[in-house]
């Protein structure tokens, strides 16, 4: 897979907005150094790449990762890689499983179906079951509304191949 294809695939994989490593590791993946105010951009990017690869196994090729595709706004993916994947998902404090639960609920409330499809797969990687993901959708219906829950159910079904 070429770097442009990887970039497009990365863009399709939720614009690198949030996925993967809860706490300091994702289910069996070596820990990233904890991000801090003194972490460099490169350290945050490296932690983000590790978290993203762990959350979406097999999606991103090994080696140097170029997520830019040369199209309008292609820096957004790089920004997400450091600010969301590196600074948030690589933090200690919540497990990947807990971060997935929180993220699913937020994405349902926002009506962000494209990102939700990616995060359903990430939630499975982080140890949630299909039944638990369904419970998140049901629960969100009570707080985010029935239309949001219905849209989330459709997105989750697509992500689960149903």
* SS3 of 27-81: CCCCCCCCCCCCCCHHHHHHHHHHHHHHHCCCCCCCCCCCCCCCCCCCHHHHHHH
- SS3 label, residue 105: helix
Full-model pTM? 0.76
* pLDDT the model gives residue 107: 98
How many CB atoms sit inside 10 A of residue 25's CB? Answer: 18
Average pLDDT of the chain is: 82
Question: Using alpha carbons only, what angle is made at residue 160 by residues 8 and 56, rounded to the nearest 5 degrees?
Answer: 45
Higher pLDDT, 127 or 26: 127
Distance CA 62, CA 39 (A): 23
In sequence order, the 6+-apart residues with CB closer than 8 A to the CB of 56 are 13, 19, 20, 118, 121, 122, 125
Quick: pLDDT tens for 130-147.
999 999 999 999 999 999
Higher pLDDT, 53 or 123: 123
* pLDDT the model gives residue 68: 86
pLDDT band at residue 37 using 50, 70 and 90 as cut-offs: low
* Residue 2 pLDDT > 70: no
How many CB atoms sit inside 10 A of residue 90's CB? Answer: 31
């Amino acid at each position: 897979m070429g770097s442009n294809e990887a970039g497009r695939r990365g863009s399709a994989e939720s614009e690198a907005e949030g996925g993967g490593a809860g706490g300091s590791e994702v289910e069996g993946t070596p820990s990233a150094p904890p991000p801090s105010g003194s972490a460099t951009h490169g350290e945050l990017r490296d932690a983000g790449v590790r978290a993203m690869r762990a959350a979406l196994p097999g999606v991103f090729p090994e080696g140097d990762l170029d997520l830019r595709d040369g199209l309008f706004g292609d820096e957004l993916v790089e920004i997400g890689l450091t600010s969301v994947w590196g600074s948030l998902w690589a933090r200690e404090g919540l497990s990947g499983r807990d971060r997935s639960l929180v993220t699913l609920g937020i994405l349902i409330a926002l009506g962000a179906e494209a990102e939700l499809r990616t995060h359903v797969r990430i939630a499975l990687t982080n140890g949630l079951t299909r039944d638990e993901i369904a419970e998140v959708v049901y629960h969100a219906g009570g707080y985010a509304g029935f239309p949001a829950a219905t849209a989330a159910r459709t997105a989750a079904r697509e992500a689960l191949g149903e």
